[in-house]
Amino acid sequence: MEMSFTSAVVILLLVMDPLGNILLFVALLRPVEPARRNVVILRECAIAFLVLLVFVFFGNSILSLLGLSGSSLNIAGGLILFLIALRMIFRRPEGVFGDVISGEPFIVPLAIPSITGPTAIATVILMVSRAPQRMLEWVAAAAIAMLITLTLLLFAERISKLVGERGLLAFERLMGLILTAIAVEMLLQGIESFVRQL
């Protein structure tokens, strides 16, 4: 099944989970001076985007070097996505990734794994491995998804006040349900391609 540009943007947005990350960003940036918060968000999104680009351009080389097949990546990505989706649905107080830090966050846990986690990395590698001739499309899809994520996170405090914690949690659970279905589809595709190789 060929992935369209729009579905690539939507899937990347779902795995980056900007709305689900709003509460985490608000909580972790509370100790940071208000004037620096937007700078931190811009920096973390830029780092997350650079990590995605590295895997867009060199992901297949890394897979070849490690001797990993596309079907194993599908299955692993599906499993990771499924676990993250479950944690989104059954939210714990410490958040999806269970990270607790003090001071100004740098790279971990905001850029990685909150925005660009294993699932986002696996997703871009899969997109490129399935259609390497559409490399520019995948870069554009990642850029659009990151711009939407950045915009939502820059307004994180306002959104959290407007929608409220319950509203954000409800939306995150809904996204978790959608991600569960995507994870199952990835697993089935991985199993199908593995069975065909036998």
Give residue-wise pLDDT tens across range 39-82: 999 999 999 999 999 999 998 888 788 887 767 777 877 787 78
Report domain extents, the chain.
5-197
Average pLDDT score, the chain: 83
Residue 10 clears pLDDT 70, i.e. is over it: yes
Rounded Cα distance between 185 and 188, Å, is 5
- What's the confidence (pLDDT) of residue 39? 95
Nearest to 105 by CA among 58, 37, 182, 4: 37
Average pLDDT over residues 96-114: 69
Residue 133, pLDDT score: 93
If we measure between CA atoms, which residue out of 19, 24, 181, 16 comes closest to residue 92?
24
Q: What is the mean pLDDT of residues 135-147?
A: 96
**pLDDT at position 182 over 80:** no
CA distance 155 to 116: 19
Instruction: Identify whether the C-beta of residue 12 lies closer than 8 Å to the C-beta of residue 123.
Output: yes
User: Would the pLDDT of 196 be above 80?
Assistant: yes
The pLDDT value recorded for residue 91 is: 66
Reading the block at residue 155, the tokens are 């307004």
Residue reference for tokens 């905001």: 110
Determine the 3-state secondary structure of 17 from DSSP: coil
**3-state class of 106 per DSSP?**
strand
**DSSP secondary structure, 49-104, as one string:** HHHHHHHHHHHHHHHHHHT--HHHHHHHHHHHHHHHHHHHHT--TT-SS-----SS
> What is the arithmetic mean of pLDDT over 26-38?
87
